[in-house]
């Protein structure tokens, strides 16, 4: 497993955990609470996919 794949897995883990923790604030804050974790989760998935192709 190369570094890009490892970084993608870490990004997905951090983004996913942060997203789950912030879902309880969704009613009060709306998409502000889940925006950044969602971006990190998606970018981690993209980085993971690119790392697997190399």
Which tens digit of pLDDT belongs to each residue from 9-48?
999 999 999 999 988 887 888 888 888 999 999 999 999 9
pLDDT at res. 34: 87
- Whether the per-residue pLDDT at 54 is higher than 90: the answer is no
Please compute the mean of the pLDDT values over residues 47-54 and round it to a whole number.
85
pLDDT at res. 49: 92
More confident residue, 52 or 44: 44
pTM: 0.82
Q: Which long-range contacts (CB under 8 A, 24 or more apart) does 2-5 make?
A: 2/51, 2/54, 3/51, 4/47, 4/48, 4/50, 4/51, 4/54, 5/48, 5/51, 5/52
């Amino acid at each position: 497993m190369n570094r890009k794949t490892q970084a993608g897995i870490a990004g997905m883990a951090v983004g996913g955990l942060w997203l789950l923790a912030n879902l309880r604030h969704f009613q009060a804050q709306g998409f502000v609470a889940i925006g950044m974790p969602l971006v990190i989760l998606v970018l981690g998935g993209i980085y993971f996919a690119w790392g697997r192709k190399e």
